[in-house]
Chains A and B, each alone.
Chain A
Amino acid sequence: MGAAVYRGPFRREQAERLLWRAGFGPRRGEATALARKGLEAAVFSLTRPGAARMVGPKPHDSKGRGLAPEDAWGHDHLWWLDRMVRTSRPLVERMTLVWHDWFATSLQGVGSQSLMLRQNRLLRRHALGSFGTLLREITRDPAMLLWLSGTDNTKWSPNENYARELMELFTLGAGRGYTEGDVREQARSLTGWTSDWRSGVGQHNFRYARDRHDGGNKRIFGQRGPHDWEDAVRLCLEHSRHPVFFVEKLWSYFVPTAPDARTRDSLVTLYRKEHDVRPLVEAILRHPALYTGPRMVKPPVVYTAGLLRAIGRGVDTDSWSWLSGMTGQRLFVPPSVAGWDDSRWLDTATFRGRWWIANYATQPLSLTDKQAGSLPSQPDELVEGAVRFWGSPTLRPATRRALLEFARRSMADADASWKRRSYPVLITNALRQLVATSPDFQTC
């Protein structure tokens, strides 16, 4: 029995949610167009997209120069943000972000933007493919080998760093189906990786060196043998607790409440066959829980890319790199190997970060006194204009009323003719900011 499929109306509002959960929000008119396709075709357009195309203005830094993501500070963030803004395959980028969180590797430990981007390409290549292949490849990915001490792990002195997280964070879950003994034996299995270091080049020539590998017998999950790194990965994938961990964790990126038992079991069945990600994501994106369940807070980088998509702006300033730190999500610098905490994005500090992001996003388009006189002076028209500016996102009626109240009171403050002429400009700028930072727009 497969997982339930959403049968309710699939209108603009539902399409909007799908585009935010499985991508980076709609471009102008995109939600309406997607709604016309119907649920099934809409989901497939995301999970089985055509060839990758980048749509819109090419990225550049504040001085108009092209990006140097492997070298220039912050350009790695800009480079990926640009892909999120311009891609014709938003779900592929979104899944790449999921894997970046799942196998959270930080530039702070790797020290090379070039190796971070190499890992990023790996995550993108397998974004909707086989988790088994992805796990195998990430285990020998240079950035990961540096990040979790893989190249320090030798038969003479095993290092448990990768072994522990492989089970705790990547495949099984903390304390679920493994012991401290398994951690130690896995570490031995994973020995053998090394690299060279040269001044000016850094770490390079990552390779497997048999003489560094501990060829002795190990006992992992009760299975004895001369396990090596491929066995370490395979034993985790074949572990009876792995499929449930996997589907529940994958689900949590799209739906904020845990799947019910029937859904979980059907996803596990789907996953067990080939460890394929695409069919699972398709089942999740069609599931009623996605459309009828509670809202989710948009991750900061998704929020930022979405603002730019909504107003058709490309990446044309370096500022996004340092602003991202204020929102709590600098790409390539997750807080720890456990990734970002998706359940707690917003507090007084990160709210202010998003305020700044929205302010920077609208700056080139913000109105000045030159436009005074060309704007309506009716509060409701000003509100309508500001909502339209962002592509008319769905707002709660109470939110619209609060915006209207703000506009009405602000116009009422205009006690001189120059104010009556200028205030619609100020109010419009303020309303755009309020729409973008409203609880409605921070969530989806």
Chain B
Amino acid sequence: MARPCSDYSRTDLLRRGLAEAGRGLPAIEPGMPLPAGTGLSRRSFLARGAGLGLAVYGGHALLPRLLEDGIAAAAADPSERVLVSVFLDGGADSLSMLFPGDDPLYRSLRPKLALPASVGTAFAEDPRLRWHPSLTPLATLHGEGKVTVLPGVGYTGPDQSHFTSRHFWEVGATNEALRTGWLGRYLDRVGTPDNPLQGLSLESRLQPALATARVPVASIDSPDRYDFWTRGVWGDVEQRLMEAIGSLGGLPTDGDAALLQASAASRQAARLRQQLLPFTPKDGQPGFTSPVTYPTGEDDFPRRLAGLAAMLGSGLPVRAVALTAPGMYDTHDSQPDALAEGLTITAESLLAFQRDLESRGLADRVLIHVWSEFGRRAEENGSAGTDHGAAGIGFLIGTRVSGTAIGEYPGLAQLDADGNLRATSDFRGLYAALLEDWLGTDAEGIIPSAASFARPRILK
């Protein structure tokens, strides 16, 4: 499988074919606002394949193999910056994640759910607030100046539908008709037609924020699990078979959207398979190893981040990554346990990922953005849960982030008409800053009306 592939010589054909690959997001049909996969259904499957041992990884050990496979030509510029978008699905409760422990208003709005001021770590920037005990790993990184908090991020005219609000965040505008993701439009500007890895969904479905109009993007679960084994086929014929996946995907589609989608998937799969050949486990050796220990357990999230660090470490040309955090954040009931469970594995995995990047010398190239479609209602609902709110919480993580909060904590004294937190920063301004200050491209043309949003300071 790992020998140089005759497919590679067909780069020109692929180049031509992939130029038409992007197809953008579907329109929001009446009443069918954009949902999107959360990858939950993958858990059951991957639970079976988990438990891969993680040993010490030797720097750029994979690079010679990449060169052998002729892929180094497409390898990343070593200074290329990467943005990793992590989505807390369901509307995470900011008033638990960074909570006003001593505020009597908090206790009266949240008689059952208020966290006691005795738990968690104090938030160094604002004496009123404390970190949720499960977010201690983020508190640690914050102490090192590697976390910027957005304590009240949102937008004016907040929509309380999961699907609509999530769509707004994904497309980077409060526009239901927009069909490409904000990161997708960034990739359309800077990406190339033969590199699906430039936009990477680390789960079984495309993350809508990465939906492009022009260039290809990829979804994979893990770089070492992208094989196309076929029973009763081997040798020369297997090589031809792999080539044929790309050929069938390169046939004309006469503008038929479904055929176009199926063809693009086929073509991009063939290309991606080649890009990931170095990660194929061989002779009982795992496809990659990590220099740090990630949380273990049933969830795929830590392993996905470990795989991502290995891919970046090997020089693969990844630019924008999106994935869903573990946990269920739509906590209409039984909130305390559900929230703690999801936040624990999420925060521990992010800390391990950050340490992994630091250990590989990649930390200055990678910035993580953690977001949710909205926060939750200030007042609890009586089912030991909370209903949909407006402004919520977000984080930027990395060695280069400012480490200083963007927008103040909105407080409980002045809620909006629906009893929700008011936004003190706008996600579109944040996106514009990420594009301009981190990714080095003008936000104009990617974020609609970019000029109208103030850019927060995101870097040191």
Interface 0/1 of A432-444, CB less than 8 Å to B:
0110011110110
Q: Is B213 positioned at the interface, with any CB of A under 8 Å from its CB?
A: no
B side interface size, CB within 8 A: 86
> Do residues A325 and B29 form an inter-chain contact, with CB atoms below 8 A?
no
Q: Is A206 positioned at the interface, with any CB of B under 8 Å from its CB?
A: no
Q: How many angstroms from the CA of A256 to the CA of B218 in the assembled complex?
A: 24
Can you name the residue of chain A whose Cβ is closest to the Cβ of B384? A152
Q: How many angstroms from the CA of A348 to the CA of B328 in the assembled complex?
A: 26
Interface 0/1 of A329-348, CB less than 8 Å to B:
11001111011110111111
Q: B46 to chain A: which residues have CB within 8 Å?
A: 325
Q: Is A134 positioned at the interface, with any CB of B under 8 Å from its CB?
A: no
Pick the residue among A348, A366, A405 that contacts B265 (CB under 8 A). A348
List B residues 299-345 near A (Cβ within 8 Å): 328, 332-333
List B residues 234-270 near A (Cβ within 8 Å): 234-238, 240-241, 243-245, 247-249, 251-253, 256-259, 261-266, 268-269
> Do residues A321 and B44 form an inter-chain contact, with CB atoms below 8 A?
yes
Of B240, B249, B251, B264, chain A has the most CB atoms within 10 Å of the CB of B240
Q: Is A385 positioned at the interface, with any CB of B under 8 Å from its CB?
A: no
With A152-B332, A249-B32 in contact, is A297–B261 under 8 Å at CB?
A: yes
Q: Shortest beta-carbon distance, A286 to chain B, in Å? A: 21
Q: Shortest beta-carbon distance, A365 to chain B, in Å? A: 10
Q: Is A8 positioned at the interface, with any CB of B under 8 Å from its CB?
A: no
> Do residues A437 and B245 form an inter-chain contact, with CB atoms below 8 A?
yes
Q: Is A158 positioned at the interface, with any CB of B under 8 Å from its CB?
A: yes
With A324-B41, A402-B248 in contact, is A430–B233 under 8 Å at CB?
A: yes
Q: Is A157 positioned at the interface, with any CB of B under 8 Å from its CB?
A: yes
> Do residues B33 and A161 form an inter-chain contact, with CB atoms below 8 A?
no
> Do residues B248 and A434 form an inter-chain contact, with CB atoms below 8 A?
yes
> Do residues A430 and B240 form an inter-chain contact, with CB atoms below 8 A?
yes
Q: How many angstroms from the CA of A349 to the CA of B268 in the assembled complex?
A: 10
Can you name the residue of chain A whose Cβ is closest to the Cβ of B28? A174
With A173-B30, A344-B205 in contact, is A430–B45 under 8 Å at CB?
A: no
Q: A3 to chain B: which residues have CB within 8 Å?
A: none
List A residues 337-365 near B (Cβ within 8 Å): 338-341, 343-353, 355, 359, 362-363
Interface 0/1 of B209-242, CB less than 8 Å to A:
0000000011111000010111111111110110
> Do residues B221 and A430 form an inter-chain contact, with CB atoms below 8 A?
no
Interface 0/1 of A45-60, CB less than 8 Å to B:
0000000000000000
Pick the residue among A173, A322, A409 that contacts B44 (CB under 8 A). A322
Interface 0/1 of B24-39, CB less than 8 Å to A:
0110111111111111
Pick the residue among B31, B256, B262, B388 that contacts A173 (CB under 8 A). B31
Q: B235 to chain A: which residues have CB within 8 Å?
A: 426
Q: B36 to chain A: which residues have CB within 8 Å?
A: 335, 341, 344
List A residues 390-408 near B (Cβ within 8 Å): 396, 398-399, 402-403, 405-406
Q: B45 to chain A: which residues have CB within 8 Å?
A: 322-323, 325-326
Q: How many angstroms from the CA of A333 to the CA of B25 in the assembled complex?
A: 23
Pick the residue among B29, B33, B164, B249 that contacts A258 (CB under 8 A). B29
Q: How many angstroms from the CA of A268 to the CA of B249 in the assembled complex?
A: 40
Q: Is A377 positioned at the interface, with any CB of B under 8 Å from its CB?
A: no
Q: A70 to chain B: which residues have CB within 8 Å?
A: none
> Do residues A346 and B231 form an inter-chain contact, with CB atoms below 8 A?
no
Q: How many angstroms from the CA of A333 to the CA of B258 in the assembled complex?
A: 24
Q: How many angstroms from the CA of A434 to the CA of B46 in the assembled complex?
A: 26
Can you name the residue of chain B whose Cβ is closest to the Cβ of A343? B26
A side interface size, CB within 8 A: 97
> Do residues A410 and B237 form an inter-chain contact, with CB atoms below 8 A?
yes
Q: Is A427 positioned at the interface, with any CB of B under 8 Å from its CB?
A: yes
Q: B201 to chain A: which residues have CB within 8 Å?
A: 347, 349
> Do residues B37 and A341 form an inter-chain contact, with CB atoms below 8 A?
yes
Q: B272 to chain A: which residues have CB within 8 Å?
A: 348
> Do residues B248 and A438 form an inter-chain contact, with CB atoms below 8 A?
yes
Q: Is A2 positioned at the interface, with any CB of B under 8 Å from its CB?
A: no
With A174-B163, A294-B256, A328-B204 in contact, is A159–B333 under 8 Å at CB?
A: yes
Q: Is A367 positioned at the interface, with any CB of B under 8 Å from its CB?
A: yes
Pick the residue among A74, A160, A329 that contacts B388 (CB under 8 A). A160
> Do residues B37 and A359 form an inter-chain contact, with CB atoms below 8 A?
no
Q: How many angstroms from the CA of A410 to the CA of B262 in the assembled complex?
A: 24
Q: Is B3 positioned at the interface, with any CB of A under 8 Å from its CB?
A: no
Interface 0/1 of A407-435, CB less than 8 Å to B:
00110011000010001011101100110
Of B233, B237, B240, B262, chain A has the most CB atoms within 10 Å of the CB of B237
> Do residues B251 and A430 form an inter-chain contact, with CB atoms below 8 A?
no
With A164-B388, A413-B240 in contact, is A348–B205 under 8 Å at CB?
A: no
> Do residues B162 and A336 form an inter-chain contact, with CB atoms below 8 A?
yes
> Do residues A442 and B262 form an inter-chain contact, with CB atoms below 8 A?
yes
Can you name the residue of chain B whose Cβ is closest to the Cβ of A441? B262
Q: Shortest beta-carbon distance, A179 to chain B, in Å? A: 11
With A157-B382, A351-B266 in contact, is A168–B161 under 8 Å at CB?
A: yes
> Do residues B385 and A159 form an inter-chain contact, with CB atoms below 8 A?
yes
Further 14 A-B residue pairs, CB within 8 A, beyond A152-B333, A326-B45, A346-B261: A149-B332, A157-B383, A159-B382, A160-B387, A296-B258, A335-B37, A338-B35, A349-B201, A363-B231, A398-B251, A409-B240, A439-B262, A439-B263, A443-B258
Can you pick out 17 interface pairs between chain A and chain B where the beta carbons lie within 8 Å of each other?
A152-B381, A159-B382, A168-B31, A168-B161, A169-B31, A245-B30, A252-B29, A294-B258, A297-B258, A333-B41, A336-B89, A344-B261, A346-B262, A355-B269, A430-B240, A437-B248, A442-B262
- B residues contacting A by CB (< 8 A) are 25-26, 28-46, 48, 89, 159-164, 196, 201, 203-206, 217-221, 226, 228-238, 240-241, 243-245, 247-249, 251-253, 256-259, 261-266, 268-269, 272, 328, 332-333, 381-383, 385, 387-388, 418
- A residues contacting B by CB (< 8 A) are 73-74, 106, 108-109, 149, 152-154, 156-161, 164, 168-169, 172-176, 180, 183, 244-245, 248-249, 252, 256, 258, 294-297, 321-326, 328-330, 333-336, 338-341, 343-353, 355, 359, 362-363, 366-368, 396, 398-399, 402-403, 405-406, 409-410, 413-414, 419, 423, 425-427, 429-430, 433-434, 437-440, 442-443
